[in-house]
Each structure stands twice: as structure tokens, then as C-alpha cells.
Amino acid sequence: MKKNNKQYYFVVYYDSDTNRWVHDVDTEEAMFGNRLIWNNDTSEFECGYLGDGKFEENEEEVVELFNKMIREASNESL
């Protein structure tokens, strides 16, 4: 993963009925419009999707790592 001076934000909740942590992409979009990457260089939030099937350089890898962490926290099979 490339260093890029950015912070990636996610919306997560714990479901006490299923005893699982959930990455809530619907709330991310509704509340933040998918602008969940803080760019420390510009002091602005950015969208990870750049258009035409292209993503910010670390977006896919960061989301993949995050979702793996959520699965592990919920004791789901990888």
C-alpha cells in the first residue's frame, strides 16, 4: 500500500441480535455521500471512487483490509 497522507473513515455498528459487527455502506452514502477519505494535504474529504471504474490509489486495498478486520471481529470465516 502506498503512503498517501490520507485517513479512511467507515461507518460500523454492532448488531446485538446476531452478535456481529457490520460495515454499514448504506449509512456511509446517506450521511457522507461517499466522501470518507480525509486528505491531510488539502484538508478536505474526498470520494474513493474517481469515476470510469477508477478508484483512489489505496481505496480497494484499504476497504479489503477493513472488511477482513470486521469479519475477524465477528468471528466469521475468511
Task: Evaluate whether residue 57 is within a structural domain.
Answer: yes
Which residue is listed with cell 471512487?
Answer: 49
Task: Evaluate whether residue 78 is within a structural domain.
Answer: no
Considering the chain, what percentage of its residues have pLDDT values greater than 90?
68
* Measured distance CA(78)–CA(8) in Å, rounded: 22
Residue 78: per-residue pLDDT = 46
Task: Evaluate whether residue 22 is within a structural domain.
Answer: yes
Quick one: average pLDDT of 51-72? 91
H or E element at residue 26:
helix 25-32
What are the beta bridge partners of residue 39?
A: 6, 44
Tell me how many domains the chain contains: 1
Look up residue 53 and give its three cell numbers: 471504474
Question: pTM score, two decimals?
Answer: 0.80
Judge contact between 22 and 76, C-beta under 8 A.
no
| Domain containing residue 25 | 6-73
What phi, psi does 12 have (nearest 5°)?
A: -130, 145
Task: Evaluate whether residue 1 is within a structural domain.
Answer: no
Quick one: average pLDDT of 57-77? 87
